[in-house]
Amino acid sequence: MKRSKLKSMKFLVTCGATWVPIDDVRVISNISSGEMGQLITLELIKKGAKVTLLMGPVTVRLDLKGVQILNYKFFDEISSLLKKELKKGYDFIIHAAAVSDYKLKSAYTGKIDSKKKSLRLELIPSEKIINSIKKISPGSRLVGFKLEEALTSATAKFKAKGLIKQSGCDLVVANSFTKGEYRGFIIDRNSVILSEQYNKKNLAKELVKALERT
């Protein structure tokens, strides 16, 4: 069997939802299952890669043997963990986590009384963690993810181009999950679509193949 170019290479993968606090017991989150990052991790392990997985709250949990898993729940936790790990010199960073785009301007202390008739929450944009990855680890190759409500090949390339310009990604996975149907595009820095897939497992396999060719 031909030896994979990825054997013994160091990968940092992120997956899962990200919480931001409302008060000491309530959070704002999203519905990310964490499945994509785990599927990619499994494909990397098959190739003999060394994988560290930053895993947030997930609704799908796969059997991940031979993987170092670092768990997080909150935005500040993934931000801190990621920046710490990036200093270790990974060959590839695959940032598949669904990081919160907004946070409360000021979270409440304690527990908000449930008898309140109404509650106003002021949200502000959170830090774009992906934008700091190449600054901390410029030698790493970065795969970013862009989730949209619906995608065509043209809109996928447009969204990928924006993320590449913004964060310096080497590859982008532009994907959508509409009415139960998944669609994903793997796009390079030249806006070339390397693969189009209609389920997460196949996309994970094709992404790892694309990384082998880099």
pLDDT in tens, 65-100: 989 999 999 999 999 999 999 999 999 999 999 999
pLDDT value for 88: 96
Residue 104's SS3 state is strand
Q: For residue 71, give both structure tokens.
A: 């768990």
Average pLDDT estimate for 15-38: 96
**pLDDT tens profile 133-149:** 999 999 999 999 999 98
| pLDDT tens figures, 163-189 | 999 999 999 999 998 878 899 999 999
The pLDDT value given to residue 1:
55
Region 10-103+124-213: CATH code: 3.40.50.10300
As given in the structure block, the two tokens for residue 164 are 């590449």
Q: Residues 87, 205, 39, 66: what is their CA dihedral angle, to the nearest 10 degrees?
A: -60
Q: What is the model's pTM?
A: 0.94
| 103 contact partners, CB below 8 Å, separation of at least 6 | 20, 28, 75, 123, 124, 126
